[in-house]
Copies of this chain bind each other. A is one copy, B any other.
Amino acid sequence: MDLWITEYQTKNQKISCRVKETLHIEKSKYQEIVLVDTDEYGRMLLLDGAIQTTVKDEFVYHEMISHVPLFTHPNPKKVAVIGGGDGGTIREILKHKSVDKAFLVEIDQRVVELSKSFLPEISAALGDERAKVCIEDGIEFVKNQKNEFDVIMVDSTDPVGPAVGLFAKDFYRSIHDALGEDGIFVAQTESPFFNKELISSVFRDIKSVFPIARLYLCFVPTYPGGLWSFTIGSKKYDPMDVQEVITDGMGCKYYSREVHKAAFVLPPFVKELLE
C-alpha cells in the first residue's frame, strides 16, 4: 500500500506523509476531523486538512506555548487554554505544581473525545482532577470572566473557519480583562515566513492592549516552513526577563531556561514585522 496524506500548507506548497493506517474520519459540527497513523510522525490529528499535532513532534509546540508564559509568571495558579482540544497544552501546564486549576475551553467536543480515544500520550492529562474541560466558544467564555486568570493561552487552529475571532483585537481586550492584574496572555501566531501580515497586525493589536508585547519562535517540523511564532501580551512581567526556571522532573525535550531566552532573539526579517 502506498498511502499518503497531503496538506496544502500554502496554495503553492504541500507536505505529504506516508500513512500506515487511517484511524478515523468525521465531519463534526465545526470541521473535518481526521486521525491517521503515519510512518514518520506516528499518530497525527488534522482539522480541515491542516496538521494540528503528531505524537513525534508535538512536544515542541506544547512545551513552548505553555512553559514560556508559566515560567514568566512567578506563581500561576489559575490557567485557561482556548482551543487546544487535544490536551497537550493542559498536560504541560499541569507539570507546574503552582497550578490549581487549568480550564480547557474547546468549541468542538469531538476533538476532545477523539483525542482521548486516539492520542492518549497527548490527551491523558485531561483526566487530571485539576483539569476542567468546558465545551464552549472561547470568545464567550473569556467575555464572562473578569480578573480571574493568571495565564490565558490561545492554542487555536489557523485563522480560518471557527478560529477567525481568536485573532481579533476585541478578543484580546476580553482576554486582558479576564486576566488578573499581573496576568499573561499567549497565542500561537503562525509562520513568520508565510504569514507576515498576520503577525504584524496581531502584534500591533496585542501591543495596543497590553503594556508588554513580545514575539518568540520555535520550530515545528510539521508546520509550514518549520519556523513558528507565539505572541505574548503581559500586564506586568516581561518574558524576556525570566529569572527562575526549574524544569527538573518535567521531562522537557525542547524547553529550557536558555531556550526560553533564545526564543525571543529574532532574525532581522522577523524583527522588521514588528516595527
Contact = CB atoms under 8 A, between A and B. Distances in A.
Contacts of A12: 17-18, 38-40
Interface in A4-22: 4, 6, 10-18
A139 interface: no
A274 interface: no
A201 interface: no
Q: How many copies does the complex hold?
A: 2
Interface string A243-272: 000000000111110110110011111000
**Chain A: number of interface residues, binned into ranges:** 35 or more
A254 B268 contact: yes
Contacts of A259: 265-267
Contacts of A265: 258-259, 261-262
Given A13-B16, A256-B267, 10 more contacts: A10-B40, A12-B17, A13-B18, A13-B40, A14-B16, A16-B16, A225-B226, A226-B226, A254-B268, A255-B267
26 contacts: A6-B16, A11-B18, A11-B39, A12-B18, A12-B38, A13-B15, A13-B17, A13-B40, A15-B15, A16-B16, A57-B193, A60-B267, A219-B219, A219-B225, A220-B226, A221-B225, A221-B227, A223-B226, A226-B226, A253-B268, A253-B269, A254-B267, A254-B269, A255-B267, A259-B265, A261-B262
